């Protein structure tokens, strides 16, 4: 009889534990919704005090992307290119949840990221993108850039970005870049 009572107690304890787990998961699932319920024009900031989301670039030529915020989590993949643009979408302690141009997400240690602004040319396209000599698509085409070409972004005015790479520089339509937001301005 005492064994049956013990088994019943264990089953009830598991049920309470599972119910608590599902309750906590429900609360966590609602947190992103609360984050989006901001006053228009406000900028959400992470624990670092920096805006979320934001674009940064990889500081090293080998950056492990992990399943969670810590070295105890498995490496999902490794970036092999310095300067690659990624979007920081979440922060936890010294870890940053990033999203790449393919939409894949994972966690990276903060010191492996740089504030240097870079961009990929239209990674979603298959045809070349014109690079213009000036901020005007009726002007001279300085080059045709293949999709996924990496460049440094010097400035953006909300429509055009001034970009450069090895042996090329000019202006490109802001909407054809992964690494800057539509209508974002900076110099």
Outline where the chain has alpha helix (H): 2-36
Rg of the chain over all Cα atoms, to the nearest angstrom: 23
Instruction: Please give the model's pTM, rounded to 2 decimal places.
Output: 0.77
User: 32-46: b or e for each residue (b if 16 or more CB lie within 10 Å)?
Assistant: eeeeeeeeeeeeeeb
Q: What are phi and psi of 158, to 5 degrees?
A: 100, -20
pLDDT in tens, 42-100: 679 999 999 999 999 999 999 999 999 999 999 999 999 999 999 999 999 999 999 99
**pLDDT score for 80:** 97
Residue 16 predicted with pLDDT over 90? no
- Torsion angles phi and psi, residue 84, rounded to 5: -65, 130
Coil, helix or strand at residue 51: strand
Q: Is the pLDDT of residue 21 over 70?
A: no
Note whether 174 and 158 are within 8 A (CB).
yes
* Residue 167 in this model has a pLDDT that exceeds 70: yes
Q: What is the pLDDT of residue 183?
A: 93
């Amino acid at each position: 009889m005492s064994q049956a009572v013990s088994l019943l107690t264990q089953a009830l304890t598991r049920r309470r534990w599972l119910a608590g787990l599902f309750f906590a998961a429900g609360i966590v699932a609602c947190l992103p919704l609360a984050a989006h319920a901001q006053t228009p024009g406000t900028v959400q900031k992470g624990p670092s005090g920096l805006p979320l989301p934001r674009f940064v670039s990889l500081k090293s030529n080998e950056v492990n992307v992990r399943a969670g915020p810590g070295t105890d989590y498995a490496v999902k993949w490794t970036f092999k290119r310095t300067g690659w643009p990624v979007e920081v979408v979440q922060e936890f302690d010294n870890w940053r949840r990033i999203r790449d141009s393919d939409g894949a997400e994972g966690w990276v240690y903060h010191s492996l990221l740089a504030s240097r602004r870079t961009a990929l040319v239209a990674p979603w396209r298959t045809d070349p993108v014109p690079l213009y000599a000036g901020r005007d698509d009726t002007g001279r085409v300085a080059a045709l850039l293949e999709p996924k070409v990496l460049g440094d972004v010097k400035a953006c005015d909300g429509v055009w970005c001034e970009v450069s790479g090895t042996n090329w520089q000019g202006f490109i339509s802001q909407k054809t870049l992964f690494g800057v937001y539509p209508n974002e301005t900076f110099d």
